[in-house]
Structure formats: C-alpha cells, structure tokens
C-alpha cells in the first residue's frame, strides 16, 4: 500500500467535502405550511432562516395559534429538505463512510 497515494486521496476527499459543504450552505431551501396561501420559510443549508413570508389573508385572522403552527410547519419542512440534501450529497461523497461531525 502506497502511503503517499493514500494521503493524496484523503486530501482530495477533504477538499471535495469542504466544497460540497460550502455549496450546501449556500443553497436555499423552501418549506411551506402546506399550501400557496399559507406560510413559506426560506433557509440556507446552515439552517439559518433567510425569509419568512406570510400570506396577506392570514394576517387578518384572530387565530394566533394557527399562524404559529403554520410557521412551525414551514420551518420544519425547510430544515428537513436541507438535512436530506446534506445527507444525500455528503453520503455519496464519503461512499457510505460514517465520519463524525460530517453526517
């Protein structure tokens, strides 16, 4: 086994993973509360919320609890998309290896 070849492969994998993580963090994921006339949340791959859009017709409702639930659903949907995309892309890059702190 050639140790220098192994080190070269490890460095390439590390660079590839870094590039993918940067790409994922720059990707915007959108989640909504289940309809066009609800709540939409946009977040980046680092799970930082970038935008919250609330349909105009919801602003006039007196049901604060319903609006809070819709925001919660939209945020969770965006987080789920971001985490699934990260798992898919980084999992394929590491070819199924479990690397602590990555997956």
CA-CA-CA-CA torsion sign (47, 49, 55, 59) = positive
Tell whether the model's pLDDT for residue 101 goes beyond 60.
Answer: no
Average pLDDT for 70-97 = 85
Average pLDDT over residues 53-78: 87
The CATH T-level fold of domain 3-93 is Ybab; Chain: A; (3.30.1310)
Q: What pTM did the predictor assign?
A: 0.69
**pLDDT, position 42:** 94
pLDDT tens digits, one per residue of 16-35: 889 998 999 999 999 998 77
Q: pLDDT tens, 67-79? A: 889 999 999 999 9
Confidence of residue 99 (pLDDT cuts 50, 70, 90): low
DSSP assignment string, 32-99 = ESSSTTSEEEEEETT--EEEEEE-HHHHT-S-HHHHHHHHHHHHHHHHHHHHHHHHHHHHHHTTT---
- Distance separating alpha carbons of residues 61 and 39, to the nearest angstrom: 13
Q: Where are the domains of the chain?
A: 3-93
């Amino acid at each position: 086994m050639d140790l220098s070849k192994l080190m070269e492969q490890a460095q390439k994998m590390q660079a590839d993973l870094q590039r993918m993580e940067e790409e994922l963090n720059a990707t915007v994921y959108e989640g909504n509360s289940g309809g066009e006339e609800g709540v939409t949340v946009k977040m980046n791959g680092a799970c930082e919320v970038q935008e919250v859009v609330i349909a105009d017709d919801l602003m006039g409702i007196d049901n604060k609890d319903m609006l809070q639930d819709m925001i919660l659903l939209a945020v969770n949907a965006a987080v789920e998309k971001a985490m699934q995309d990260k798992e898919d892309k980084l999992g394929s890059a590491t070819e199924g290896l479990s690397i602590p702190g990555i997956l």
